[in-house]
Structure 1
Amino acid sequence: MVSLAPGILLIADPFLKDPNFARTVIFVCENDEKGSFGFVINRLFDQTLDSLIPDVIYPGIPVYYGGPVQVDTIHFLHQLPDQIQGGVQVVPGVYWGGRFDDVVELLNQGALDLQKIKFFIGYSGWTTGQLEEELREKSWIPSESTPSLVFESREQQIWQQALRNLGSNFAMMANFPIDPSLN
């Protein structure tokens, strides 16, 4: 079993009913004695970055719903440590945060590879022991992450692909209906 650590993915169990997390994949950024937090990487938000941040003039950059906590904040993951100063490496190839003013300036100049950065509104967070309890209840399937899956732009395929990456026992779960009673 994969241990709970920064950089793992939490794949929602196919039958998880919580509307905040049904069929989601969360990239965990921190897990310590104070709790855990990460971002839902496969749920597109209904507004773009330029509509949320007036200083961003580059249009149409997608924003993802990172989770239900502090939905008045913007966060980002990236693969651009040479361009974005101040980021924290979560795992090789994935950095969290950095100097946001620099990001806005680089975006407005068209100087960032938009395939290597993902923006989130809000985040997913757990208090000490809460996530461990949810794992015991089998709400989440932990998995190793890959930068290619974290930065996948076809968000509707991430949950299924994350399950398929776990092997044949999980691959069939990727095709389970949301509500089997409707079959």
Structure 2
Amino acid sequence: MAREDVGLVLAAAPRLGRTRLVLVDGPSGAGKTFYAAGLAEALAEVGLSVATVHTDDLLDGWDDQFTYWSRLDRQVLTPIRQGAPGGYHPYDWHLRRFGTEWTAVWPADVVIVEGVGCGRAEGRAWASLTVYVHAPAAVRRARSIVRDGPSMQPVLREWRRREAIHFAADATAAQADLRIDGSA
């Protein structure tokens, strides 16, 4: 996590009400969650309040890879844009349904949203900074096996196929303000 990245966030104007929205996108296993956590920590070290939303908590199962956006916008981004807290019921991947516990997202100085597809065109208008994290396919697959196990690989192969189609159609990497190599 480079200090320059903190500087980019600080230099960017808030576009989500008084909040700077940072969208951290990229393919599965590229290192988005790791990067977002490091950025959140570095921003907090300079005195900013930070909230992080993981899009995996907003998906309605494996087939909801890209249709979560309306939930994110309605439940989190719109309230924050209006200066109010947002939130959501995180998806329980073991029970295969949304949980009952509410996760509040307060209008912090910076809200980081990380996950596949979050840097899409619909979000870029509100984002102060968009980041695309990439890594070689072999690295991403190896991480996936460690993180998700061998039995999940058939589902994740289809996931990766759909994300490649999405990224090509949306030109996500080309539209990002910052591209990060997450393979390290």
TM-score (norm: length of structure 1): 0.25
More helix per residue: 1 or 2? 2
More strand per residue: 1 or 2? 1
Greater relative contact order, per chain length (Cα 8 Å cut-off, separation 6+):
2
